[in-house]
């Protein structure tokens, strides 16, 4: 999954100014045409002779036009941003100047002109440095507060970090993220911190650095819970679900995605693309679980078959070894008997001896079992059984099996 650009855009909007920590003003509701008709009357000569109050009204009009056209007419928004920068530069109004520079940075970013976007962000950062110097002045003539300065710094740090992120300059991005996070912590801006760490987690997930992704997603959840923002909590849970899905840990992924959907369900009166993404991820998890189940089932079947084949092979090997040992034993017996020249033909019953194998086979012959049956029972080859049967007939001087059994009983071997 690669949703980093979407998250970065959301992060830019959340850090663009303090408006998301206060009430957002929808500049588009203003009559932009009427406002333009007012500002167009301010020719260079009129601006030169305008009062301070008139110039303050003019730059506020530029600001409203810049933001009013932000999403509906990029060219007009850029035009009034430049006018705002020109007037703010002349008057030393660095807050207004940096706001316009940030807006230009966003426009050039959207046009994928990243070098130009970085130029305006860095210029805005330089202006915030000037605001910080004024705020540090004991007389503080312009009334800038440290909170205003820090809010401007954090929004720019986040935006610059995002831009470096988009440009795959990850170390630089992380440094600016770190500085933004320090300010968020200082003021307890938990929601902003949650968005920040969610974005970092997404970055590391794209880089396949799963330990770092997990650490930052968990931080995102921590700050989201602290903020109490249910939508941000949902987003944090979704991030964790996406991570565990990529790791193939479907049970844990489904747990977090269900938690995310539970929080999204608190907003059923609205439609959220994020919830659609969460539901899509849940579908992917369920699909992966089915694949994993099929894989486990197939693996179990293969293991069972391998176990059966292995058992059969081991049994064959054992039988072969037993038959080989029996054949060696028979050969040893034959050699020993051929050397025993002093055994006479009138050997008595007391002198008659049987080998261990003959002792095993004789009762089986007496029970009526055939040579193949005996071979199967004691796992010896048929040839070996026939050889021992022949030796028993010779030892008992029997012409057939019936006589063999009779003489064996007579001599007490059965």
Q: CATH 1.25.40.10 residue ranges in the chain? A: 4-292
Burial readout 374-407 (b: 16 or more C-beta within 10 A, e: otherwise): bbeebebbeebbebbbebbbebbebeebeebbeb
Q: CATH 1.10.10.10 residue ranges in the chain? A: 356-410
Q: What is the pLDDT of residue 136?
A: 73
Q: Looking at the domain that runs over 4-292, which CATH code has it been given?
A: 1.25.40.10
Q: Looking at the domain that runs over 356-410, which CATH code has it been given?
A: 1.10.10.10
- Tens digit of pLDDT for each residue in 316-330? 888 887 777 776 666
Look at 77-81, 123-127, 166-170 and tell me which has the smallest mean pLDDT. 166-170
Determine contact, residues 240/271, Cβ cutoff 8 Å. no
- Tens digit of pLDDT for each residue in 323-351? 777 766 667 666 656 555 444 444 444 56
Band (pLDDT 50/70/90 cuts) for residue 13 is: very low
- Tens digit of pLDDT for each residue in 257-272? 999 988 887 776 555 6
- Tens digit of pLDDT for each residue in 352-405? 888 888 898 999 999 989 999 998 888 888 888 888 888 889 889 888 988 888
Band (pLDDT 50/70/90 cuts) for residue 195 is: very high
Q: How many beta carbons lie within 10 A of that of residue 79, not counting itself?
A: 16
Cα separation, 234 vs 252, in Å, equals: 15
> Dihedral sign, CA of 222, 227, 233, 235?
negative
Q: What is the pLDDT of residue 58?
A: 94
- Tens digit of pLDDT for each residue in 299-318? 888 888 888 888 888 888 88
Q: What is the pTM of this model?
A: 0.61
- Tens digit of pLDDT for each residue in 89-120? 999 999 999 999 999 999 999 999 999 999 99
Determine contact, residues 65/73, Cβ cutoff 8 Å. no
Q: What is the pLDDT of residue 296?
A: 83
Q: How far is CA 187 from the centre of its chain?
A: 32
């Amino acid at each position: 999954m690669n949703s980093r650009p979407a998250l970065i855009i959301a992060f830019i909007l959340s850090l663009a100014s303090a408006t998301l920590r206060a009430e957002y003003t929808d500049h588009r509701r203003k009559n932009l045409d009427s406002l333009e008709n007012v500002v167009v009357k301010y020719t260079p000569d009129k601006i030169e002779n305008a009062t301070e109050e008139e110039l303050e009204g003019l730059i506020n009009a530029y600001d409203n036009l810049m933001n009013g056209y932000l999403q509906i007419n990029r060219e007009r928004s850029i035009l009034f941003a430049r006018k705002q920068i020109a007037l703010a530069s002349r008057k030393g109004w660095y807050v207004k100047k940096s706001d316009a520079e940030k807006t230009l940075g966003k426009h050039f970013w959207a046009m994928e002109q990243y070098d130009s976007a970085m130029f305006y962000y860095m210029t805005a950062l330089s202006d915030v440095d000037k605001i910080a110097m004024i705020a540090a002045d004991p007389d503080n003539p312009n009334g800038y507060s440290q909170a205003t300065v820090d809010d401007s710094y954090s929004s720019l740090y986040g935006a610059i970090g995002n831009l470096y992120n988009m440009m795959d300059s990850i170390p630089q991005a992380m440094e600016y993220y770190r500085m933004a996070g320090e300010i968020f912590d200082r003021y307890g801006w938990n929601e902003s911190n949650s968005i920040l760490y969610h974005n970092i987690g997404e970055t590391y997930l794209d880089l396949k650095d799963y330990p770092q992704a997990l650490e930052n997603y968990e931080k995102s959840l921590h700050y989201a819970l602290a903020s109490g923002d249910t939508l941000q909590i949902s987003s944090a849970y979704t991030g964790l679900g996406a991570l565990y899905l990529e790791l193939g840990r479907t049970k844990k992924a489904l747990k977090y995605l269900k938690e995310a959907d539970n929080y999204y369900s608190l907003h059923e009166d609205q439609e959220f693309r994020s919830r659609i993404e969460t539901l899509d991820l849940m579908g992917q998890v369920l699909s992966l679980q089915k694949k994993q189940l099929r894989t486990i089932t197939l693996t179990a079947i293969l293991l069972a078959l391998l176990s059966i084949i292995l058992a059969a092979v081991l049994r064959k090997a054992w039988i072969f070894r037993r038959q080989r040992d029996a054949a060696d034993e028979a050969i040893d017996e034959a050699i020993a008997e051929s050397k025993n020249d002093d055994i006479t033909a009138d050997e008595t019953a007391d002198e008659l001896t049987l080998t261990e194998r003959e002792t095993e086979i004789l009762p089986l012959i007496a029970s009526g079992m055939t040579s193949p049956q005996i071979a199967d029972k004691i796992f010896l080859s048929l040839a070996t059984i026939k050889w021992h049967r022949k030796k028993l007939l010779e030892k008992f001087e029997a012409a057939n099996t019936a006589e063999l059994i009779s003489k064996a009983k007579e001599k007490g071997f059965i």
